[in-house]
Structure 1
Amino acid sequence: MSSSTAKVTFVHGDITQQQVDAIVNAANSSLLGGGGVDGAIHWAGGPEILAACRRLRETEYPKGLPAGGAVATTAGQLPARHVIHVVGPVYSTRADRSTLLRSCYVEAIRVAAALEARTIAFPAVSTGAFAWPLADAARIAVGAVVETPSSLEEVRFVLFTRAALRAFESAYSLSRARPRTQTGE
């Protein structure tokens, strides 16, 4: 698999203030708002986002969006064109759910491509109420973004805390320091 050529950047700040083509929302499966990033995006984006999510629940996702999935709506009043909602898994010490967390990033990039987005802003999916350990979530997120081919020009991680910013920057540095193995004959 070839690596993404997107510029990867890290910002300490508020994801609802990002001027990008697509903002990624760490949603819950209901798509109807919640706390943390989800609540902030719904509040800042206005009622258009909730209305679009309700339409998705009435049509494509009557049982809710499954963990690891991604779907786009309008961005409402946000300074972006789209919101891509992803449902991260709840962290578990008994089950390895890392493929679901990785899928959030890969699927968001796939949806962004379908929207012809050039810039995307990600939060630290599953690290809030879903309790995923920050360093591990950062490693999975950065790995997914760096390893997923895309036509994106910029992938921006917007981290709400300084600790999250440090974890994601560290994961990126480590991903660049690792030797790449090539397979094939």
Structure 2
Amino acid sequence: MAKTLTITQGDITLLPLQGGGIVNPSNTGMILNRGVSQQISRRAGPFIQQTLHMRRSRLRNNRLEPGQAIDTEAGQLPVKTLIHVSILGAKRINKRLISNCILNAYDLAEDIELDSLAFPPLGTETAGFPIDDFLDLFWRITNEELPRSEHLQHVLLCISDQDDFERTCDFLEERLDELDDEIHVDIRPGGIVPGML
């Protein structure tokens, strides 16, 4: 069965993924106060931060280790689940860390049987990770993980910045011949609204 990779521009918190989730680029303390995390916290409602505080208290060393992932309910967001990955707070923001975040998000999405998963460009906004390096990692990992996933049918990369969106489209066009035959690419520059997916 064909899988879909959608590249879109807009606000990731507005994506209507009733059976899916959003990946939240968080930090070791799971405090949602910057970038995409702050957007998620505002739209999901205050209980999300409270839930994360309770989850953190049960973790070793009272923190989410860099590169690791946990899931929570999504509050008022139009998705089933939030997958929080730990980026900020690591000693080094590098390719290995971002790769681990992407892989652990895919693994967790499969474990909890999500049918769709939306990523922002992890680490590029508040952590300063280069967008081109993120795209290279995301492309290679998605090309391997999405076709073999039992439950995931649709992965989205949602980019808010216009220049980064254009760079992403250029990046993908140069690599379409490397794409697994089971993945269909869908580019939506105008964003996604309910009923479109």
Q: Secondary structure at 1:10's aligned position in 2?
A: strand
- Specify the alignment match of 1:133 in structure 2: 130
Provide structure 2 residue ranges, at least 5 long, that are not aligned to the other structure: 181-197
Provide structure 1 residue ranges, at least 5 long, that are not aligned to the other structure: 181-185
Q: Say which structure, 1 or 2, has more relative contact order (CA 8 Å, 6+ apart).
A: 2
- Judge conservation of contact 1:89–1:97 (CA < 8 Å) in 2: no
Spell out the pairing of 1:95-114 with structure 2 (5 A cutoff). 97-114=94-111
* RMSD (CA atoms): 2.4
Q: Secondary structure at 1:116's aligned position in 2?
A: coil
Give runs of ≥4 in structure 1 deviating > 3 Å. Answer: 89-92
TM-score, structure 1 as length reference = 0.85
| Distance change (3 Å), C-alpha of 1:16 and 1:179 | closer
- Judge conservation of contact 2:25–2:85 (CA < 8 Å) in 1: yes
- Specify the alignment match of 2:161 in structure 1: 161
TM-score, structure 2 as length reference = 0.80
- Specify the alignment match of 2:118 in structure 1: 121
Same amino acid, percent of matched pairs: 25
Spell out the pairing of 1:12-161 with structure 2 (5 A cutoff). 12-20=9-17, 21-88=20-87, 97-148=94-145, 149-151=148-150, 152-161=152-161
Structure 1 residues 171-180 or 9-18, which shifts more? 171-180
- Judge conservation of contact 2:102–2:138 (CA < 8 Å) in 1: yes
Q: Secondary structure at 2:158's aligned position in 1?
A: strand
Give the CA deviation at 1:13.
0.4
Aligned length: 175
Bigger strand share: 2
> What is the identity, as a one-letter code, of the residue corresponding to 1:117?
L
Give the CA deviation at 1:91.
9.8
